[in-house]
Amino acid sequence: MEFLRKSLLFLSFLSIFASFAGAQTNVLPDSSDVLDTIPYGEQHIVLYKANVWDYVIDPEILARDKAISDTMDIFTERWNNEITFPYQWPDPGPPPDSILIQLVDDERGFVLPHYGMITSGFGWRYGRNHKAIDIDLEKGTPVRAAFDGKVRYSQYNNGGYGNLIIIRHFNGLETYYAHLTTRYVKPNQIVKAGQIIGTGGNTGAHWTGAHLHFECRWWDHAFDPLRIIEFDSLRLKSDSVILTPADFKISQSHKAYVNNGVNGQNSGTAVNYGGNNVTNNKPVETNASASGKVMGNYYYVKKGDTLSAIARRFGTSVAKLCELNGISKNSTLHIGQKIRIK
């Protein structure tokens, strides 16, 4: 009888899901409006009377992690729910020296956010500086948190990420989950490794198929997620990792690929990386000492910047930046160049 009741509830859940999946909201009714709770792996799905639902983790575990996180500097310093790169803003720090990161321990594990074909790796791709891996998925596929942590950012990002969730983890890393169709988590919410945080899609990148754009960053500095993940076995290569400055650089081979160019594909923004002289008919006024700074509505280009990175950082688009500055998306950026951002 109990089984039948659960089965019927599950069926009614499925029909609710079918009707209201698109209307799933983060503004949930309070607990007195709970209709039922259905186990789902290590978490639960809670159904509310108002035909909305949510994934939940054991509240005691979440309360404990919340209390722990409240005592940790990492969850208070440079904590910002509105910008994508809180460590670099307003000052860009240099990439860190060698750092040892304890990724997981007995208490806190790792779960691959989604397993599928990797369609684009970390590094230069078609003239873009791609600081992520792209994992193919069907639109609507659940995407999971990689490690335990606290949601730092959950909103639609106009800079190209689309629906974006950023989680800051107890191990010090931040992970980025972009182009999502649905976001199930709110800023400042505690999440556990493996918790479903949203579903995949192609928001902000509607010209391509659905995929998960997954980034790993240490203090805003991106490194190849495959540096730590043994992808096909769905686990980490090791419980800890030592990242060196080389891990935060875009590899030479990828640069060479871009320099050689592939007709019609090398459409990204060229950046003056090494400080070499770049020939350009139109002289650009630069102020190298202001590089990386924000002053009023202006930002001064720093080493390694691209228009798309600047757009993402300030929540705008490449097209908007081009319009504001009278430049094209292929314009060469110069270190210290003054760019209007709004």
Q: Which residues in this chain contact Zn ion in the complex, by CB under 5 A?
A: 132, 134, 213
List C-alpha distances in Å: 63 to 33, 185, 190, 192. 21, 16, 8, 12
Contact predicate 287/300, CB 8 Å: yes
Decide whether 157 or 291 has the Cβ nearer to Zn ion: 157
CB of 202 to Zn ion, least distance (A): 11
Decide whether 134 or 220 has the Cβ nearer to Zn ion: 134
Decide whether 119 or 286 has the Cβ nearer to Zn ion: 119
CB of 247 to Zn ion, least distance (A): 18
Decide whether 148 or 215 has the Cβ nearer to Zn ion: 215
Q: Report the DSSP pairing between strands 338-340 and 298-300.
A: antiparallel
The two structure tokens encoding residue 314: 């300030």
Measured over the CA atoms of residue 277, residue 282, residue 288 and residue 293, the dihedral's sign is negative
Decide whether 128 or 168 has the Cβ nearer to Zn ion: 128
CB of 130 to Zn ion, least distance (A): 6
Long-range contacts of 3-12 (CB under 8 A, 24+ apart): 6/38, 9/36, 9/38, 9/47, 10/38
CB of 201 to Zn ion, least distance (A): 13
Closest CA to 231 of 128, 101, 134: 134
Decide whether 152 or 179 has the Cβ nearer to Zn ion: 179
CB of 120 to Zn ion, least distance (A): 6
Decide whether 118 or 284 has the Cβ nearer to Zn ion: 118
CB of 211 to Zn ion, least distance (A): 7
Contact predicate 134/120, CB 8 Å: yes
Contact predicate 281/292, CB 8 Å: no
Q: How far apart are the C-alpha atoms of 91 and 14, rounded to whole Å?
A: 49
The two structure tokens encoding residue 156: 């639609």
CB of 123 to Zn ion, least distance (A): 11
